[in-house]
Amino acid sequence: MSYRPEHKIQTRARIVEAARRLFNRHGFEQVTIDQIMADAGLTRGAFYHHFESKDQLYAAAVSSFTTCNPFASAAQDIDDPLRLARMLIDLYLSDEVLENIDMHCPLYALPSDVARAGLAPQQAYTDLIRGMSHVYRSALTGVRDADRRAQTMVSLCVGGMVLARTTNDPALRRSLRASARHQALSLLKVH
């Protein structure tokens, strides 16, 4: 029985989505190929029709965040770079995103795992950093230190979420994210 090309694309997407969710919840080392395939509703044998290794799948899962996250859907209708940058900061540091583990960005959900991973996952992670920086950089056209500001905003957003995820103190969680948001938004102001 042969499948249409779109079936293979859809199946691969199911595997990547299952992997992304499970990696976010449990980390790279704790998740097996069998768990991923069961979550995707497929057999282990199907895995090797789409990926050569778990590392390759991990890289695909990290990369998939650019299209499967709340930021991508919210950004579709925004053509003003400054408005888009502000929206990204607000949404990234929101209660909604913090509370939805399945939608956590790999930049704050998986940094330790990626640091120990192979080159492909590290490249996917690097691409996410560059993509987020680009959004902020685009909002700072004509600003002399735009690259530094954009990277600082990425650091504030990711760092604010990393720290917020690690504490069990709700007030501290809010305060850390509010402080990061305030500083990131202040960097968008052109003096």
Read off the pLDDT of residues 30-42 as tens digits, 9 standing for 90 and up. 999 999 999 999 9
**pLDDT given at position 41:** 95
Domains of the chain, earliest start first: 5-53 (1.10.10.60), 66-188 (1.10.357.10)
Q: Which residues have CB under 8 Å from 160's CB, separation 6+?
A: 93, 176, 177, 179, 180, 181
Mean pLDDT confidence for 70-93: 81
Identify the pLDDT of residue 68.
Answer: 54
- pLDDT of 25 > 80? The answer is yes
Distance in Å from the first CA to the final CA of the chain: 64
Geometric angle at alpha carbon 122, from 132 and 40, rounded to 5°: 90
Q: Are 128 and 137 in contact (CB under 8 A)?
A: no
The pLDDT of residue 190 is above 70: no
Most trustworthy range by pLDDT among 55-59, 83-87, 123-127, 153-157: 153-157
Mean pLDDT computed over 101-106: 82
* pLDDT bracket for residue 120 (50, 70, 90): confident
Instruction: Write down the pLDDT at residue 22.
Output: 93
> pLDDT value at position 103?
78
Which residue, 84, 12, 77, is CA-closest to 48?
Answer: 12
d(CA 157, CA 129): 11
pLDDT of residue 74: 62
Q: Are residues 174 and 124 in contact, defined by beta-carbon separation less than 8 angstroms?
A: no
- The confidence score (pLDDT) of residue 187 equals 96
Question: Which pLDDT score, from 0 to 100, does residue 112 have?
Answer: 82
